[in-house]
Amino acid sequence: MSKIVIKNLDNRLLDNKDNSKSVLNIIHENHIDWMFACGGNGRCTTCKIVVTKGLDNLSEMTEAEIKFSQIGKLAKNERLACQCSLRGDVEVEVAAQNKFPHMKYSY
Ligand code: FES
């Protein structure tokens, strides 16, 4: 069992019982509107999470994530929510450029 806290969504807490699921799946199962322009296939970066705590509690980076980090599209504290899964608790933020205009963010 692991937890995700989404800091800029009022510290929304997501309890997760199945660590085989992607972070994106967990977010969507909790009915949170989150960008995923390529359908969760590792081809865009719109599902990006900015990890503020627990970076080591995520699965190994996938080839897609390594590629985006090599071309400067993913910082060291950023992961693709569709590509990673949980190994422990994390705290994350919605990236500024991926916020929806209809959603209310706490910062
Ligand atoms: S949804 Fe496109 S990379 Fe994750």
User: Could you read off the pLDDT of 10-48 as tens digits, one per residue?
Assistant: 999 999 999 999 999 999 999 999 999 999 999 999 999
Return phi, psi of residue 43, to 5°. -110, -5
> For all residues of the chain together, what is the average pLDDT?
97
106 domain residue, yes or no: no
Q: State the residue range of the domain holding 45.
A: 2-96
Phi, psi of 19 (to 5 degrees): -75, 5
Q: Is 105 a member of any domain? A: no
- For residue 65, being part of any structural domain is answered with yes
C-alpha to C-alpha distance for 29 and 33, rounded to whole angstroms:
10
Assigned domain for 64 exists:
yes
36 CB within 6 A, ligand 1: yes
- The residues pairing with 91 across neighbouring beta strands, listed in sequence order, are 5, 53
Judge whether 107 lies within some domain: no
| Number of domains making up the chain | 1
What CATH number did the domain enclosing 33 receive? 3.10.20.30
What pLDDT, on a 0 to 100 scale, did the predictor assign at position 70?
98
Residue 70 domain-assigned? yes
Is residue 86 in a domain?
Answer: yes
CA distance 93 to 101: 16
Ligand 1: centre distance to CA 13 (Å): 22
Radius of gyration of the chain measured on its C-alpha atoms = 13
pLDDT band of 63, cuts 50, 70, 90: very high
pLDDT above 90 for 1: no
**Ligand 1 near 61 CB (within 6 A):** no
SS3 65: helix
Per-residue tokens: 6: 């989404």
- Look at residue 103 and tell me if it is in a domain: no
* Average pLDDT, integer, range 78-105: 97
